[in-house]
Amino acid sequence: MNGKDSAILSGRVAVGATPAPAGRTASSGTAWRGTLLAGLGVLSFSGSFPATVFAMEGFDPYLVAIGRAVIAAVPALVFLVAARGPLLPPRSHLRSYLVIVAGVVFGFPVFSGLALDAGASTSHAAVVIGLLPAATAACAVLRGGERPKPAFWAACALGAVSITAFTLSRGGGHATGADLLLVGALLSAAVGYTEGGRLARETPGWRVISHALVIAAPLTVPVTVALALTTDVRPTATSLAGFAYAGLISMFLGFIPWYAGLAAGGIARAGQTQLAQPLLTLLWAWLLLDERFGPLTVAAALAVLVCVAMSQRARS
């Protein structure tokens, strides 16, 4: 193993690959590399809602929400042990990791799972969560030290308005209880994404999510065992596959390029790639769940694509 590989595995960022510090503008190449990496993360996350729906066919919603973190903790621990680095992060970063745990290990899975269980369709949930890039950008300003240009905010606002109008039109002009749960999910994710993106500026993305999962394990493991013993468990091939996707892809592997992309391209800028997630989730919902949507959904999808293009041209 050469020195560069050792540096990466030990958690140090190799020379020449250091992300732009907070408040500074990344080079064009670094910014677009961050966008591409974040896009890989979005592609992984786009299957989360359909996978959760499938998993809940055989498992309790709370068991799916918490158990996915236990599934993800297994490869996370393997990665950390293989790298021969510390299993726990520095104490100086502990507060940030607790925020990540609260946001993406507990908050988003629980809120989104309950919303789907409350009757929200996969397509409807995907569009509401489409507001996540705007929330992440706001968190990036408050916590990440980023200062996007006005053109960026215009694109962000246009995307948020388009998605909100679509959601209200589907809900008869008002928000439902499931919508409120989805808002809780997107706020949880925005906070967790921002904090993880900050840490990924100096720590590889795989190590950030791995540390978060290991820190959460003393709580997620016993809760998962208790839920497995006290809830109705009816595993099928489909529900097991959905559960596995939610744990391995949505909760672990997807975060590796996602956090790396946020660090390289800027949390606010790269985070706007998530405007494409509703479109991808709608596609999976149509292919896997046979959910139907009409011209209004297509119009909203096109509006979101325009917003993605505009936000990526607006450099931080």
Chain Cα centroid distance, residue 294 = 27
Tokens linked to 223: 């809760």
Furthest CA-CA distance within the chain: 60
Check residue 3 and give its pLDDT. 45
Name the band, by pLDDT with cuts 50, 70 and 90, for residue 61: very high
Considering only 74-88, 93-107, 289-303, which range has the smallest mean pLDDT? 289-303
Q: Is the pTM here over 0.85, yes or no?
A: no
Check residue 20 and give its pLDDT. 45
Q: State yes or no: pLDDT of 24 exceeds 50.
A: no
Chain Cα centroid distance, residue 10 = 25
Q: State yes or no: pLDDT of 11 exceeds 50.
A: no
Considering only 15-24, 100-109, 127-136, 142-151, which range has the smallest mean pLDDT? 15-24
Q: What is the mean pLDDT of residues 27-45?
A: 82
Name the band, by pLDDT with cuts 50, 70 and 90, for residue 9: very low
Check residue 25 and give its pLDDT. 47
Q: State yes or no: pLDDT of 56 exceeds 90.
A: yes
Check residue 167 and give its pLDDT. 67
Distance CA 52, CA 247 (A): 10
Q: State yes or no: pLDDT of 288 exceeds 50.
A: yes
Cα–Cα distances in angstroms (integers) from residue 167 to residues 174, 177, 186, in the given order: 9, 13, 14
Q: Which of 19-28, 124-133, 192-201 has the highest mean pLDDT?
A: 192-201
Distance CA 259, CA 254 (A): 9
Q: State yes or no: pLDDT of 302 exceeds 90.
A: no
Cα radius of gyration rounded to whole Å, the chain: 19
Q: At what angle do helices 205-230 and 177-199 cross, to 10 degrees?
A: 140
Domain boundaries, the chain: 27-313
Check residue 19 and give its pLDDT. 46
Higher-confidence residue of 270 and 215: namely 215
Check residue 133 and give its pLDDT. 76
